[in-house]
Each structure stands twice: as structure tokens, then as C-alpha cells.
Amino acid sequence: MIVSCLLFLRKRVKKILKREKNIKDTIWGVISILISEFLIGSFVLITFNGGLSNVRVELESPTILVGEGNNMLAINKMRMVLPNGVEHGITTNIVKFTLVAVDLKDGSKCWTRLSGWQEYIIGESTNGLLIVNNKKKVLNFINPKSGKVDITEKEWVERFPELKDNLSYNQNDYYLVSKDELYIYALDGKYYKVDMVNNSVTESPDYKKILSERFSYSNNISGLSSEDLQWVAEACTTYYSDLLDVNILWAEDRKTALISYHQKRNDDKISVSLVSLNEHSIKWTTPIEYNFSGMMNNSISISKEDDWFYIISNGNLYKLRQENGNIEYVYQYHWNKLK
């Protein structure tokens, strides 16, 4: 801005001395340069903020799959961490949260929506995506196809007078068993079941046990029983003891499992393999990017639909064919486009 003004003034002074321009026009010219370059510079900085920085994109929530057939969407809350310099020897960061919906068929962006640190996705219901914000103390139902609010908390509680001024905004106080069946631990210390089809509410202390089961189910893999899950874990540990950091990503029986492991310690990639527990063999292996910073709630997410695996790791969504592990596409959450 200073250089531009000096160059402008150099030419204008000559014209002023020759009486081709006056001082008033020169002042307005300098002001125009300062305003225009300030606006353009601000636009460039805002638009490309972090474009050349080592931005980390981390998975903040489990994947929510909505839709059917070829109209499936994967919805996630993502955390973008942008380095903001070093102060007193401590690296500071700017953190931004975004809800992102990706079309699983072709890997195109469906919609994005700014989120917050204390905003949580409970799950998909018949009313839309149930989201609670503990900071703003609000509950909303979002349209999974557009990302816009369909039903506000005020509109929703009008159907259920028992829940008015009785809702918690803690994610652990909600459990969506299905799209129609929601269990709530309310502020009055009672447990409620909400039938979203018939718009009815019932209260019972027995619902406490159901609500507590959400924690045990969240650690289960494809609905395996605890006994089967333990058997699969022991089989993977025994058969593939030479692999580093073996982790079970998916299994629906005792025959086949999808595992991840490192080829070398501190490797920035992990190998994802489909293994046969009956034949003690590895069917295929595909390397994907991986980075665990110790700050993420979910460093990797795995979903399966039909003959495809959808894996989110290191800010990327991988679509892998179950038959051979070939990568159909890689979606980058940093730029919200295909890689």
C-alpha cells in the first residue's frame, strides 16, 4: 500500500507542478488506493487463509449415514486446525468446526454448515438430524439433504409438553435407538421415551438401562456380540502377531474382518487389509494416509454399505471396493472436493 501510494504521488507531483492536476484530486486518489488495496488484500487473506499452511483436518464425530441405495450421504463433524504462530514457545492454533455432507455415490459435496465445539450430532430421526448445542443451549432438527434447520426446539416441544423447559443439552443424555425411538434423561431426573411417529412421550425408570446401553453399543463392531467380538480380537492378535498396532475396523461374523496396522513405527500411513480368519490369510491390502495427534475424538471412521467400505482418515474419505480394496475415489475435507 505504501509503495503504491509513493508511485502514485511521484507521478501526481509532476502533474501538479505542471498544473495538470490539483492537490484535492491527488488526496482522493491516495484515499482510493488505500481503500481498494485494503479491501482486495483482506479478501485475499480471508479466502486463502491457511492455503499454504500445514492445516490439519480431523474427524470430530462418528459418521452418520442417511438415505438409501444410490442416494446415500455421509455426514460428519470435522475439525480444521490452522497454525497461528508461536507465542512464548507455545504453538497457537485457530480451530474451526464444520458439518459436511458427502454424496457417497460420486464423492461430491452435498452441503456444509458451520458448527461449534459443543455442538453434537445425536443421530438421524424421522424429523431429521438431531443436533444439540451445549454452549447455546438449543436443540434442532436439521434436514440431512440441505443442512438447514427443519424443526426448532420450540416447535418440537410443542408436541410434547412434558419436555418443555426439561431438556438437557448434554449429548450423553440422548439415545436414538432408531429413527422413531428416542430416549432422554431430562432435567427433572426422570427418563423418557419419545415416539416420533405417534408424537407420544412415556416416562419410566426402566429407560435408564436402555440409555446406558448406548455406551456399550458404541464400541461394538457391526452388531457383533461381546463373545464374537472377543473371539475376532483374539484371532487377529494370534494370526497376525507380526503386524504393528493391529486394530479391528469391521467384522460382522467370525469369518472375515477388516483390520488396520502399521508397516513401520511412526508411519504416516496405515495399511488396511481384509483378512480371512478361517484361512488365516490376507485377501488384499490398501495403504491410506493416517495421522494421530492425540487430540482427536475419532482418529478413523469405518462404514460399510453394500460392497463398499467408506473410511475417513487424516481428513480424507476413501471409498474402497470390498472385493479387491481398490480405491474408487478420495474426498478431501480440507478443500471439500475430490483429490
Angstrom CA distances, 327 to 65, 263, 336, stand at 20, 19, 18
Q: CA nearest 222: which of 324, 104, 302, 103?
A: 302
Reported confidence tier of residue 217, pLDDT bands at 50, 70, 90: low
274-323 pLDDT, tens digit per residue, is: 999 989 999 999 999 987 654 444 578 899 999 999 999 999 999 999 99
Q: Is 211 helix (H, G, I), strand (E, B) or coil?
A: helix
19 has pLDDT over 70: yes
Which pTM was predicted?
A: 0.81
Grid coordinates in use for 194? 419419545
64-112 pLDDT, tens digit per residue, is: 999 988 899 999 999 988 877 677 777 778 889 999 999 999 999 999 9
Q: CA nearest 207: which of 196, 219, 195?
A: 195
Please give the Cα distance from 77 to 336 (Å, whole number).
13
Contacts from 90-99 at CB under 8 Å and sequence distance 24+?
A: 97/60, 99/75, 99/142, 99/147
